[in-house]
Structure 1
Amino acid sequence: MRKLLLLSLILASPLTFAATECTTADKAQWQDQDTFQADLKGQGYEIKKFKVTSGNCYEIYGHDKAGKKVEIYFDPVSGKPVKSNVES
């Protein structure tokens, strides 16, 4: 059974494991991380964790102004959300 599970994971589509890709722009074009976070806080977000992903995104974990848990990936150039998970 374990061999079957391992084989199915190996043969799984690479898209299954693909990270969210936000931009291919040079990092010189990205918004300043501190300014970006300050802008989000000004919009009512409480940021528990902020990171730059391998897919060239700014990612936050925290809460929105309604207090719902959020995980949001942002394009670091435009600042627009690319993918989000919001607690229902």
Structure 2
Amino acid sequence: MRIVSTVALAALSLPLLAGVALAGPTCTKEPKSAWMSQEAMKAKIADMGYQKIKTFKVTGSCYEIYGYDKANKKAEVYFNPVDGSIVKAEIGD
């Protein structure tokens, strides 16, 4: 009976672990009242050379985009919403 309980507990824990692995980075601990407006952030992103933005969204404590960088490479980028700095970037081909 003990083995069955251990296996069941392990099986129930897997979805929780998968959720942690898929979570984005922590970009800030500041309240949303301290964040740049979405319009200001979009302007900053354009000034940084990101283009053809297909998705702009709030993910956890970040602004996140899917688009292309200056070199026209696919980019998934997480920004600190307070100062606009890049927290994590994945650049492809």
TM superposition score normalised by structure 1: 0.77
Aligned-partner SS, 2:24 = coil
Mapping of residues 57-72 of structure 1, within 5 Å: 57-72=62-77
One of 45, 49, 56 as aligned partner of 2:55 = 49
Unaligned runs of 5+ in 2: 1-6
- Do the aligned residues in 1 keep the contact of 2:44 with 2:84 (CA within 8 Å)? no
One of 25, 30, 41 as aligned partner of 1:25 = 30
CA distance in structure 1 between the aligned counterparts of 2:35 and 2:16, rounded to whole angstroms: 36
Range that drifts further, 6-15 or 31-40? 6-15
Is residue 2:82 matched to residue 1:80? no
- Give every structure 1 segment of 4 or more consecutive aligned residues whose post-TM-superposition deviation is greater than 3 Å: 10-15
**Letter of the aligned partner of 1:51 in structure 2?**
K
What per-residue deviation string (whole Å, max 9, x for no partner) do you get for residues 64-88 of structure 1? Answer: 0100000000110021111110004
Flag the structure with larger Rg: 2
TM superposition score normalised by structure 2: 0.74
Q: How many aligned positions are there?
A: 83
CA distance in structure 2 between the aligned counterparts of 1:39 and 1:10, rounded to whole angstroms: 37
Unaligned runs of 5+ in 1: none
CA distance in structure 1 between the aligned counterparts of 2:16 and 2:61, rounded to whole angstroms: 26
Matched-pair identity in %: 46
CA distance in structure 1 between the aligned counterparts of 2:64 and 2:85, rounded to whole angstroms: 11
Q: CA 1:67 to 1:26, structure 2 compared with 1: closer, same or farther past 3 Å?
A: same
